[in-house]
Amino acid sequence: MLAIARTHARRFSDRFTDEVRFLRAWVERPLTTGAVAPSGAALSRLMASFVDADCSGPIVELGPGTGVVTDALVKRGIDEARLVLIEYSPDFCTLLEERFPRATVIQGDAYAMADVVEEAPGSLAGVVSSLPLFTRPLEARQKLIEDALELMTPGAPFIQFSYALVPPVPEVDGRYGVTRTSWVVRNVPPARVWLYRRVVEDEAVEETAA
Ligand SMILES: C[S@@+](CC[C@H](N)C(=O)[O-])C[C@H]1O[C@@H](n2cnc3c(N)ncnc32)[C@H](O)[C@@H]1O
Residue 7 lies in a domain: no
Q: Judge if the beta carbon of residue 57 lies within 6 A of ligand 1.
A: no
182 backbone dihedrals φ, ψ, rounded to 5°? -75, 175
Q: Which atom of ligand 1 is nearest to the CA of 70?
A: 6
Q: How far does residue 92's CA lie from ligand 1's centre (Å)?
A: 9
Ligand 1 pocket mutation pick from 60, 130, 162, 193 by most atoms within 8 angstroms of CB: 130
Q: DSSP 3-state assignment of 143?
A: helix
Q: Taking the model in full, what pTM does it have?
A: 0.91
On whether residue 156 sits in a domain, the answer given is: yes
Residue 57 φ/ψ region, left for φ over 0, alpha for ψ in the -120 to 50 degree band, beta for the rest: left
CA distances from 89 to 14, 24, 50 (A): 19, 12, 26
Q: Do residues 151 and 114 lie in contact, with contact meaning Cβ atoms separated by under 8 Å? A: yes
Residue 178 has pLDDT above 70, yes or no: yes
- Tens-place pLDDT, residues 120-156: 899 999 999 999 999 999 999 999 999 999 999 989 9
The predicted pLDDT at position 118 comes to 87
Domain count, the chain: 1
> Domain range holding 164?
40-209
Domain containing residue 91: CATH number:
3.40.50.150
Q: How far apart are CA 100 and CA 109, in angstroms?
A: 20
d(CA 206, CA 88): 32
